[in-house]
Amino acid sequence: MLNTKSAAPKTRDSLISQKVATLPPSGIRKFFDLLSSLEDVISLGIGEPDFVTPWHIREAGTYSLEKGYTMYTSNSGMPELRQELASYLELRYGLSYHPENEILITTGSSEGLDLTLRAILNPGDEVIIPDPCYVAYPADIILAGGVPTLVPTSEENNFVIRATDIESRITKQTKAILIGYPANPTGAVISEKEANAITELAKKYDLLVISDEIYARLIYGVEHICFPTLPGMKERTILISGFSKSHAMTGWRIGYVAAERRFIQALTKIHQYTMLCVPTMAQIAAIEALRNGEAEIEKMIQEYNRRRRFMVKRLNDIGLPCFDPKGAFYAFPSIKATGMNSEEFAEKLLRTEKVAVVPGTAFGTCGEGFVRCCYATSLPNIEEALQRIDRFIRKSRLNT
């Protein structure tokens, strides 16, 4: 118990907020250290494109520096960029967001998510998320004063969250459902039917849907379900996306949020007191990306798709069953047949064959028995990595 009247000096720990002190660190620290001590590692553990940002976009960024665009922009983002985004969302999904007050440019979609949660949550409010999910979801909810409600998902359903599982966990404190399809870490996409079932719940219980659609463009052979386009959902969806995955722009840190005016106003309040605005160079590059980036996106999608088919087939062939992931750049094979748990598998694979994958448990307890393999790396790398994994599995079979 802390005695506030005591004159004793505070210990170092007490200078850190309890919320932060108790927040678990990301589950891959150990791998990071191990990885850096090894040579010749092939990493399937990276969560970003291997492509460099297309040259015309980089060139727009450097040109902006040459021209001296080095000042703040409007808090919400450059008007031209918001206008381009409004046109993009209209053209692509038939969505109409007003560029002036329904779109906010953020420092990556990560800031968009953080702002959204801080803007909507009161202490103790609950947010529903799937397990497994992107690592920042539960952490950001906790940091915003909320409580994450984990909804287990399973392989039978390709790890897509089911409305029935959500409904049984809705309480008076539930405020929002936070989902992201195509999904990290599973590569799963949501079907219209599954999405509609969720929207019915949102309407029935007056919940918000926070839809993280950062992987929307990386989708193979199916149509992307954009949540605000579903009947009655535009007014209760906060759409979060960005340029990192679609245009290979992770390091630029630029994304956006589109939602009704009342939400964007609330988010902008926090944004203006914290980030002020997104780096001007990144905004100018993003304008170029929207105006002239489609051809490059198509090329990248085609290349990802080839690698995707290759990886999924090989994984299945070597005895790591894997459903067909129709989005993002991840495969999420089951490693249960090896008798190892996810962490053990990932660590042994890294030590003996020097292939890095991410244990499914880094994304939630329901990720146990699975590992995330990213195919955003060259085909020769994928080939070599899968040969090594094959050898690893054969050897471990002999040893058991």
Partner 1 sequence: MKEIFEILEQNGRATPEQIATMVDKPVSEVEKIIKQAEKDGSILKYKAIINWPKLGKEEIWALIEVRVAPQRDVGFDAIAEHIYQFPEVYSAYVVSGTYDLAIMVKGKNMQEISNFVTEKLAPLERVQSTVTHFLLKRYKENGEIFHLPREINKRLPITL
Report whether 145 contacts 122 (CB < 8 A).
yes
CB-nearer residue toward partner 1: 99 or 185: 185
Q: How far is the CB of 358 from partner 1 (least distance, A)?
A: 7
Q: How far is the CB of 42 from partner 1 (least distance, A)?
A: 10
CA distances from residue 328 to 183, 187, 305 in whole angstroms, order as listed:
7, 5, 10
CB-nearer residue toward partner 1: 309 or 394: 309
CA distances from residue 286 to 27, 101, 113 in whole angstroms, order as listed:
32, 19, 19
Q: How far is the CB of 32 from partner 1 (least distance, A)?
A: 6
d(CA 335, CA 337): 6
List contacts with partner 1 (CB under 8 A): 26, 28, 31-32, 35-36, 41, 43, 45-48, 50, 52, 134-135, 184-185, 302, 306-307, 309-310, 313-314, 356, 358, 362-363, 379, 383
> Quick count: other Cβ atoms within 10 Å of Cβ 3?
7
Length of the chain: 400
Q: How far is the CB of 134 from partner 1 (least distance, A)?
A: 7
d(CA 335, CA 372): 10
CB-nearer residue toward partner 1: 73 or 361: 361
Report whether 72 contacts 280 (CB < 8 A).
yes
d(CA 291, CA 287): 6
CB-nearer residue toward partner 1: 253 or 314: 314
Q: Which of these, 250, 256, 262, 326, lies nearest to 287 by C-alpha position? A: 256
Q: How far is the CB of 35 from partner 1 (least distance, A)?
A: 5
Q: How far is the CB of 321 from partner 1 (least distance, A)?
A: 17
CB-nearer residue toward partner 1: 274 or 352: 352
CA distances from residue 356 to 38, 250, 272, 382 in whole angstroms, order as listed:
11, 21, 39, 11
CB-nearer residue toward partner 1: 165 or 383: 383
